[in-house]
Amino acid sequence: MSDIDKFFSEKNTVHNLSQNELLQTFDYLESVKAFSRITYKSVYIIDYQKKTFEYVSDNPLFLCGHSPGEVQQLGYAFYFKHVKPDDLELLLRINEVGFNFYENIPVEERKKHIISYDFHLVKDSKKNILINHKLTPLFLTNEGKIWKAMCIVSLSQNNKSGNIEILKDGSDEIWKFNLSQNEWVKSTKIKLTERETEILFLYAQGLTINEIAEKIYLTPDTVKFHRRKLFDKINVQNITEALSYATNNKLL
């Protein structure tokens, strides 16, 4: 087995595709390209049959000095080149536990699930950046294997690697993987109060504490009180981190 093959579970190896399965993908990349033009995040399309990237969007922050075409040509060799050894082992473990989890999801629900995790990219300057991957199935085979998946890459809001979660679209359930105990733990998505949501929206519009207080008929100290409760609830240190967390976790 080659190093790159370690990223591809035998449980999800796609060997042959029927004509009906192939028809799923008709002209779909045009929609992906349009999406990549309007987001600051990087977009990858993974082909699990060919064990490579079918598409990589142009975002210098996440390409480590390569062009999108070069990253596409490198495929998973990109990670062996630009991920430090400890995090590379972490990625292989995430790959294993992620496919084990998906195997136990009913086929008709697999497209609704998203796996999220963080790891470091090593840039040419030897500086590390902590990034987040969110990956969800695009196309399944008739037997429910993931044929193609979309991966969205962004800067992580955390301060260390890991943070492995699986979320289901439309559900408040979150499954978090405990690395030390080697098990998935079920939890519930954090919910913001109406006041916390209102304050976040106003911060996003660029308003100051005094302006927010005037707009929602509270004192500045009361706004600060709600802001501190929000920071504690989602475990962030400032309003920029709070906005990032709320956006990335669909809390707004």
Q: How confident is the model at residue 51 (pLDDT cuts 50, 70, 90)?
A: very high
Q: What is the pLDDT of residue 131?
A: 94
Are 68 and 137 found together in one domain? Answer: yes
Are 235 and 216 found together in one domain? Answer: yes
pLDDT digits (tens, 9 = 90+) for 20-35: 777 777 789 999 999 9
Are 99 and 156 found together in one domain? Answer: yes
CA quadruple 194, 199, 204, 210: dihedral, nearest 10: 160
pLDDT digits (tens, 9 = 90+) for 85-115: 999 999 999 999 999 999 999 999 999 999 9
The residue from 188, 211, 231 where one domain ends is: 188
Are 46 and 137 found together in one domain? Answer: yes
Q: Which domain holds residue 215?
A: 194-248
Are 115 and 174 found together in one domain? Answer: yes
Looking up residue 207, the CATH number of its domain turns out to be 1.10.10.10
Looking up residue 89, the CATH number of its domain turns out to be 3.30.450.20
Averaged over 144-165, what is the pLDDT? 93
Are 76 and 52 found together in one domain? Answer: yes
Counting residues of the chain whose pLDDT is more than 70, the rounded percentage is 99
Averaged over 76-82, what is the pLDDT? 94
Domain count, the chain: 2
The residue from 153, 169, 188 where one domain ends is: 188
pLDDT digits (tens, 9 = 90+) for 199-237: 999 998 999 999 999 999 999 999 999 999 999 988 888
